[in-house]
Structure 1
């Protein structure tokens, strides 16, 4: 299986290798940067598969590979059940970005791995990204500059690429790294929930995906009618989780969404969001 490569609008590069789907942008030296990205992506899957059984464990020892170690470190920062796989998309984005930066002195570069973004900014560079739910609905615009500590953006929720314990339509997290944002978004989206609600259908994760790292833990597969009070309670649970992470320095800010209601955690103080 070879990496699939194509130039797309905006002088960006699209790379695909198995389940990994990247969009890469740089402000100069594109040929060298794009070649470096492709070369690094070509090694990513084999590198991860060497330690995949370890990466699916919640309490396993530290892995050896560079990408796996990013995933493990991001997961280890949190208490409770979370495996390094929760940070795989962000860690891959970070790794490919590192390869891009190794070949040229860039002012701005980013790697977008299915909505999980690793970002580099220098000098007067800025970065704009539209914030959207997992259904594609526009939720706002994030604008970052070199003064912000945010270098990772991730979104999780129902309808996304991964199974979830929660019912959030979407949770977008801003953090200092993409792997940290990825793990945090997964956990906050899981916290947007109401325990034992009759309108929330759950099944063991392995009945949905036989190679999941979640085992027999029950994941959400359907959400029926919810009252305004139900939605408010679920979002409050998620907001509390996000604020705890923010106090611990694990995230910079977050935006939580469920059925037309939203909760924001320090987006105004971060001064990076222009809410739609």
Structure 2
């Protein structure tokens, strides 16, 4: 298994190595953008091997007695340790931490804006005066991949969009939920978090999505290690199916998640968050004076969370 890359167009590259699947996109001076892509690729080819080397430690709850050595692994550990005593292992921040590692290579003269999209967990570079639009697809159950292949559809209709500006303290966007590629303890269809870094956003989205929950025997949960034998969650029950719930139950779950998000926000770990579950939603707005700028929902965003 070796790292591979392919050019998608003049601004975008696809990087892949095992479970890591990234789209790197940048705009600005063509030579500066090309140099940034090459530098990011040179770093990318080593990331997976470094993480695999420390994987047993990264699957354990963050502990002062056992700190990883690698740069990306330490970033994962630091991002998740901030949420103690909540149970979360460094693996909760792996996608965001990898994206954050690569985006650093785009912080150079001539690159106006760039983003690393690691499966929906996004790290941003925005030069002064620049901005990026982020499109949110809140419920994967509604996504029909057949309508977006072989040129049948060129537009992915998002559930909402917002604009991130360079003067806002946001350089990371991440989404978590029980329908996603990682396990969740809660029932949120999606929780999208904006934070100072991609690693922090990734960990926070996991924690908040876990908090969006309610007791109902109809919710199907299984031990994580029965769903994936090497899961870092061990025998902790994770959500595998959520039937239609009473609106009052959904409201209660979202209210609990929103409280969690606001606590993390006051602690400086979250800038804003959008929580979605079965057609209901909660928006935890920024505490600062510069609110989110919403883009028309019919427009196509620059990057998708």
TM-score bin (small chain): over 0.9
| Aligned twin of 1:184 | 204
Shift of 1:216: 0.5
Q: Write the distance in 1 (CA, Å) between the matches of 2:10 and 2:36.
A: 15
Residue from 77, 80, 91 that aligns with 1:75:
80
The TM-score normalised by the length of structure 1 is 0.94
Q: Write the distance in 1 (CA, Å) between the matches of 2:176 and 2:117.
A: 14
Q: Write the distance in 2 (CA, Å) between the matches of 1:256 and 1:178.
A: 18
Gaps of 5+ in 1: none
| Aligned twin of 1:96 | 102
Shift of 1:231: 0.6
Q: Write the distance in 2 (CA, Å) between the matches of 1:154 and 1:121.
A: 17
Contact 2:33/2:111 (CA < 8 Å) preserved in 1?
no
Shift of 1:100: 3.6
Q: Write the distance in 1 (CA, Å) between the matches of 2:110 and 2:87.
A: 40
| Aligned twin of 1:221 | 240
Count of paired positions: 274
For residues 235-266 of structure 1, what are the alpha-carbon distances to aligned partners after superposition, in whole Å with 9 as ceiling and x for unaligned?
01110110110011110000000011000101
The structure with higher relative contact order (CA 8 Å, sep 6+) is 2
Kindly report the root-mean-square deviation, in angstroms, between the aligned alpha carbons of the 2 structures.
1.7
Asked whether 1:212 is paired with 2:218, we answer no
| Aligned twin of 1:139 | 159
| Aligned twin of 2:217 | 198
Shift of 1:64: 0.9
Gaps of 5+ in 2: 144-156, 298-305
The TM-score normalised by the length of structure 2 is 0.86
Q: Write the distance in 2 (CA, Å) between the matches of 1:188 and 1:37.
A: 30
SS of the residue corresponding to residue 213 of structure 2 reads: coil
For residues 92-125 of structure 1, what are the alpha-carbon distances to aligned partners after superposition, in whole Å with 9 as ceiling and x for unaligned?
00011123436x5522121110111101111211
Shift of 1:167: 0.5
- Is the alpha carbon distance of 1:100 and 1:146 closer, same or farther for their aligned partners in structure 2, counting shifts above 3 Å? closer
